């Protein structure tokens, strides 16, 4: 059982931020979102930085605006369905079986919108605007579940407003860049085991799990990032795109930590000479970095009907999430959080088949690596590597309008989760397995002026 002096090192704001950073998206490594295009989804995002006719290239590789025809607007909406069901057991700070249920389905059904505008400037220059959500995730467990001290709710969203420009050196070479403003919001919660803390301090009438409270963390920040790219055409049928998206450093200075529930137990701890100032509503700050990524994209038109594409993306998670230092305004000391994320690779292959002048069929497959390992997997979302199978269809009823629809099913293994009984987990441990499933459905509309 933990003592009060040990619990004194518990940094609850740090735990909250850590939970948000450990969250995993159902459809890309960790909480990275690729869902910015229905046309791209239909071929597992192969050709994302080199294929023609898709305005999402403004955000992925601005040099690819050479592949867009005239002034146009495009709107996309993806619906992500993610299931995460836990089966296992835990132990409390006294080493006894933990009470609580399995948490229910912690997954979600969530919309992911995107919008684009492209306009040529003269014969060689292009201007574009994009609104995308490159990072995001949400999970929520039932109150009182067996893993409540590790996480109840995680909600992370990043929305980018980007402005892009490109220049065509000639019909075969173009370069582009964009600057974007990213708005990040984090909300999460977990239970706090006041009963365990008081029992460890010798307070009569308390035991692990006898006085649970709740901690909710909220924070937001705006930061600026950039993307650069080039598009190189060997001939009119073969295009190679190279792009790099910068990391984005969010310095959250006005985060809020709010404690609720178990008022008597919390009052005893807050006013005790040994724990004075603990578990009080407080502000805090931390630097949360969204990772950089680089993409190589190739598109080749085989004939009038067939076009094949491929993508490789490398995401630099290790430098963004190796560790995070949290500084908060309560008497508790700062913490350095160790994540141990590894860099990841996403590989996809896809094809378009022009069935007629108005209908195009698509398909694609992908391998998507997770940055987590068994030693660094969090219950807030049990991320795992996955395989994609994608299908899509495009319909062009007129020269000015185009509709696209895409669907992806994710094949995943059932990841293990083993949460050790550390101070960060309030002396509670958890072990078990998740059933994880994911599907994505998307639609888009493009209009050319």
207-225 residue pLDDT tens? 998 999 998 888 899 999 9
Question: 37 with 436: CB under 8 angstroms?
Answer: no
pLDDT(315) > 50: yes
- Tell me which of 188-192, 293-297, 373-377, 399-403 is least confident: 373-377
What integer pLDDT is reported at residue 40 of this predicted model?
Answer: 96
Q: Say how far apart CA 426 and CA 191 lie, in whole Å.
A: 10
- CB-based contacts of 224, cutoff 8 Å, min separation 6: 179, 180, 181, 182, 248
What integer pLDDT is reported at residue 335 of this predicted model?
Answer: 62
pLDDT(119) > 90: yes
Which of 239, 178, 235 has its CA nearest to residue 49? Answer: 239
Q: Say how far apart CA 428 and CA 212 lie, in whole Å.
A: 13
Which secondary-structure segment (H or E) carries 40?
Answer: helix 38-41
pLDDT(389) > 70: yes
pLDDT(98) > 50: yes
What integer pLDDT is reported at residue 29 of this predicted model?
Answer: 61
80-91 residue pLDDT tens? 998 889 999 999
Domains in the chain with CATH codes = 1-448 (2.40.160.60)
pLDDT(166) > 90: yes
What integer pLDDT is reported at residue 187 of this predicted model?
Answer: 87
What integer pLDDT is reported at residue 55 of this predicted model?
Answer: 97
pLDDT(118) > 60: yes
Question: 106 with 84: CB under 8 angstroms?
Answer: yes
CA distance readout (Å), 257 to 20, 210, 273: 13, 22, 22
50-75 residue pLDDT tens? 999 999 999 999 999 999 999 999 99
Question: 188 with 20: CB under 8 angstroms?
Answer: yes
C-alpha triplet 131, 388, 244: angle, nearest 5°: 45
Exposure letters 251-260 (e unless 16+ CB within 10 A, then b): ebeebebebe
CA distance readout (Å), 282 to 77, 365, 379, 406: 38, 47, 25, 45
What integer pLDDT is reported at residue 108 of this predicted model?
Answer: 82
pLDDT(11) > 70: no
Which of 64, 65, 59 has its CA nearest to residue 113? Answer: 59
pLDDT(16) > 70: no
Joined together, the tokens standing for residue 33 give 């979102």
What integer pLDDT is reported at residue 23 of this predicted model?
Answer: 37
Phi-psi label, residue 206: left if phi above 0, alpha if psi -120 to 50, beta otherwise: beta
- CB-based contacts of 77, cutoff 8 Å, min separation 6: 38, 111, 112, 113, 114, 442, 443, 444
Q: Give the confidence band of 424 by pLDDT, cuts at 50, 70, 90.
A: low
pLDDT(43) > 70: yes
pLDDT(327) > 80: no
Q: Percentages helix, strand, coil for the chain, rounded to the nearest 5?
A: 10, 55, 35
pLDDT(277) > 70: yes
19-33 residue pLDDT tens? 333 333 445 566 788
What integer pLDDT is reported at residue 441 of this predicted model?
Answer: 96
For residue 47, count CB atoms less than 10 angstroms from its CB and return exposed for 0-12, middle for 13-18, buried for 19 or more. buried
Percentage of the residues of the chain whose pLDDT score is greater than 70:
91
pLDDT(17) > 60: no
Greater confidence (84 vs 345) lies with 345
What integer pLDDT is reported at residue 341 of this predicted model?
Answer: 81
Greater confidence (338 vs 435) lies with 435
Greater confidence (186 vs 169) lies with 169
What integer pLDDT is reported at residue 375 of this predicted model?
Answer: 77
What integer pLDDT is reported at residue 150 of this predicted model?
Answer: 87
Greater confidence (175 vs 330) lies with 175
């Amino acid at each position: 059982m933990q003592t009060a002096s040990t619990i004194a090192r518990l940094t609850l704001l740090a735990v909250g931020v850590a939970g948000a950073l450990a969250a995993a998206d159902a459809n890309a490594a960790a909480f990275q979102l690729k869902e910015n295009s229905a046309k791209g989804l239909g071929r597992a995002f192969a050709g994302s930085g080199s294929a023609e006719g898709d305005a999402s290239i403004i955000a992925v590789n601005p040099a690819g605006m050479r592949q867009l025809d005239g002034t146009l607007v495009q709107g996309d909406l993806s619906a992500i369905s993610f299931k995460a069901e836990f089966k296992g057991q835990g132990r409390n700070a006294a080493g006894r079986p933990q009470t609580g249920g399995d948490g229910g389905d912690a997954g979600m059904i969530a919309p992911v919108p995107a919008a684009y505008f492209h306009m040529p400037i003269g014969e060689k220059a292009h201007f574009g605007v994009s609104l995308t959500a490159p990072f995001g995730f949400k999970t929520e467990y039932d109150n009182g579940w067996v893993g409540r001290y590790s996480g109840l709710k995680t909600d992370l969203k990043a929305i980018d407003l980007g402005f892009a420009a490109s220049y065509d050196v000639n019909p075969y070479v173009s370069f582009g860049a964009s600057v974007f403003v990213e708005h990040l919001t984090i909300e999460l919660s977990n239970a706090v085991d006041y009963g365990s803390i008081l029992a460890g301090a010798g307070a009569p009438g308390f035991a692990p799990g006898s006085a649970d409270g709740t901690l909710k963390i909220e924070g937001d920040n705006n930061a600026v990032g950039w993307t650069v790219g080039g598009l190189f055409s060997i001939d009119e049928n073969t295009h190679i795109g190279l792009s790099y998206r910068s990391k984005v450093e969010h310095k959250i200075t006005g985060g809020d930590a709010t404690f609720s529930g178990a008022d008597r137990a919390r009052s005893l701890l807050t006013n005790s000479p040994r724990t004075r100032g603990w578990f009080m509503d407080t502000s805090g700050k931390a630097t949360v970095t969204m990772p950089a990524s680089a993409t190589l994209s190739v598109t080749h038109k085989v004939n009038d009907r067939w076009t094949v594409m491929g993508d490789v993306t490398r995401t630099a998670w290790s430098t963004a999430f190796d560790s995070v230092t949290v500084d908060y305004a309560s008497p508790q000391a700062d913490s350095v959080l160790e994540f141990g994320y590894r860099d990841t690779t996403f590989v996809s292959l896809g094809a378009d088949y022009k069935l007629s002048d108005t209908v195009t069929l698509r398909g694609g497959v992908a391998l998507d690596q997770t940055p987590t390992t068994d030693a660094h997997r969090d219950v807030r979302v049990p991320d795992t590597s996955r395989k994609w199978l994608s299908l899509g269809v495009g319909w062009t009823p007129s020269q000015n309008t185009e509709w696209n629809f895409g669907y992806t099913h994710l094949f995943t293994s059932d990841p293990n989760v083993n949460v050790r009984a550390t101070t960060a987990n309030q002396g509670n441990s958890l072990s078990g397995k998740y059933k994880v499933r994911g599907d994505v459905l998307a639609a888009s509309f493009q209009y050319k002026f």
